Structures are given as C-alpha cells and as structure tokens.
Amino acid sequence: MSTTHGLAPTAAFRDHQAMGPGVEFDTIRMLMARWGELAVDIGDDAAVLPPLTSGVRVVSTDACVEDVHFRREWLTPTEVGHRAAAAALSDLAAMGARAERVLVALVVPPAWQAALAEVADGIGRVVGAAGARIVGGNLSRGSTFAITLTVIGVAHHPVSRAGAQVGDLVLVTGTLGGPGAALAAWQRGDTPPAWARDRFAAPTPRLAEGEWLARMGATAMLDISDGLAADARHLGAASGVAVALDLARLPVGPGLTPAQALRSGEEYELLVTVPPDRLAAVTGGWNALSDVPLTVVGEVRPAGTAPAAQSAPDAGHDHFAK
C-alpha cells in the first residue's frame, strides 16, 4: 500500500491514484473500501504533508505482532485492529498531541487474508474516533501477522516525560489492572472477567485528555504500557527525579490488588505530573472533559530518594529481556 498526501489535498492530489491489477492491489482496494472516507489520497509513493501554521508535529511508530502482543485465540480480528490502532495513537496522547494522520503497514500470512477486512474495521473504528485519516502505509506477505502504525499529530503544548519537578503531584487516568488480569486468566486457561477482557481488547487512547492536561500545565507525561511501576521509573529517570507512588490510592479494578495494578501493562492510560498549584484547576475541569477517573497516586521526590511505596519487584515489560 503506497501513500500520498494528507487532509487538505491540492488539485494534483485530490483523488486516490489509480492502481493496476493484481492481488496486492485488490487487497489495497478492499482496505480502502472498508475505510471509506477515513482513507485519504491513497496510491502514491509517499505522503506529502502541508506546512503547519501553528504547533509542532509529533510522530510515533508502534508495532503489534501476533504471539508477542496477542494470541489469535484471545481476540477477534476486529479487536486486533482496534488494539493496534489504540496503542499507536496512545503515544500521541502521551505527548499532548491531537491525532491527524495514520500510516498502516501490514504483514499478512495466508491464514490471515480472509480476516483482513475485519482487522481493517477495527483500525478504522479507532482512527475515526480519533478524528484522524489514513494516508497510506505498506502491505506485505510474511510468516507472522503484524500491524505497524505510524501516527502523526500536532501539539501546541507538547509534553515529554522529562519535565517532572520535585514537589509535583503524580496522577493517573482510568482504572488499572484489567489488561494484566485478562492476560493472567488466559495464561491459566481461564476466561477473563468481561471488564478485564474489554480493557485488554479495546483500550481507548486518551487523546482529548492528554491534549487538555498539556494545556493545563502538565510537566511530564507518558502512557502506561510497561506497567505503572515500571513507567513511573521511566518518567523519574528521564526527569532526574524519584517518583513515589502511594499504593493505597491506586485506582484498582474489581477484585485486584494494588500490586497487580502496578504490574499490569498495556493499560494505555496516562501517567502525568502536575504542580500542586495546578491541581485544583485540573481536577475542577476534569469531569466536564472525561468520564474516566483522574486520581492523585503519588508525588515527585528528589533523585535518590527511595520511593518505598513503589516497591513492586517487577521491572515491567521488556521485549529483549531474557
């Protein structure tokens, strides 16, 4: 699948480019038909992005690989597409960016060809909800099914994970532990609770929340993909501080312990730090913005301070750990 221009085409890029015959191009045409108006100007070799009049571009790439990020028996094809798109777009949310464009690269074994339309539906559902458009990507045959999405957004107040200051408060969005609980149930051969399965299969990238938190003065932010304990350490390392979490305050899912919530990865909730004098404004306006909880779970301390409350031994997910 080749790529073209973005959301505001010039006359030269107004329509999808004509493509020749063949199974590969038939597959691209099928994907375009599934995505409808979500797919913009597909058919050239690369995307041409118009210049920005304000803000900065934020770009990220995320891969979702069968038997690494999911097993086929756990999820429907639509859920596989949904989850892959949500994970990629969550990286924009963590930077306080608004999503604009998505490129979709697919590696498709023969066993997945019949399910590709449903995968596309899941991707389109999340991209559409984010207000973004698909501007191209790549299609390849391979032995392992994989989706790689490149997401492009615009931020007016970009937030990195390196800005936390001593004395800041630490907050998280949502309720934690569901993805970890679902994964543990599947690995035991059990059926996960419905709420936990939903949190694993259909996460929501907190794009509006991330953009709003950035505008409200967040000093550092990331999305929780490796687990809260590990990601708090990542934020602390990037900022040169220690992040102390209060286990008693964690927003934990039903039937789970704080320790389980600390270790649960692929949450795609936001971990954010804000100055104490901004807390009232942040919490005061939150309910008008979002229906998910926003909870103070700790504070930022000087580097070298032992964060006793953050004592889970699990270092978090690491693709290359032995």
Question: pLDDT (tens digit, 0 to 9) for every residue of the chain, 322 residues total?
Answer: 543 333 333 333 345 555 555 566 677 777 778 777 887 777 677 888 889 999 999 999 999 999 999 999 999 999 999 999 999 999 999 999 999 999 999 999 999 999 999 999 999 999 999 999 999 889 999 999 999 999 999 999 999 999 999 999 999 999 999 999 999 999 999 999 999 999 999 999 999 999 999 999 999 999 999 999 999 999 999 999 999 999 999 999 999 999 999 999 999 999 999 999 999 999 999 999 999 999 999 999 999 885 544 544 455 544 434 4
pTM score: 0.88
- CATH code for residues 169-302: 3.90.650.10
What per-residue confidence (pLDDT) applies to 33? 80
Q: Is 39 helix (H, G, I), strand (E, B) or coil?
A: strand
- Residues 116-126 as b/e (b if ≥16 CB within 10 A, e otherwise) read bbebbbbbbbb
Taking alpha carbons only, the member of 201, 213, 215 closest to residue 268 is 201
- How far apart, in whole angstroms, are the C-alpha atoms of residue 100 and residue 113? 28
Q: What is the architecture of the domain spanning 11-155? A: 2-Layer Sandwich (3.30)
Question: How many CB atoms are located within 10 Å of the residue 41 CB?
Answer: 23
Taking alpha carbons only, the member of 309, 314, 165 closest to residue 249 is 309
The first and second tokens of residue 56, run together, are 């900065």
What per-residue confidence (pLDDT) applies to 243? 95
What per-residue confidence (pLDDT) applies to 23? 66
Q: Is 256 helix (H, G, I), strand (E, B) or coil?
A: coil
Domain positions in the chain: 11-155, 169-302
Contacts of 298 by beta carbon, 8 Å cutoff, 6+ apart: 169, 170, 232, 243, 244, 245, 246, 249, 307, 309, 310
What per-residue confidence (pLDDT) applies to 2? 43
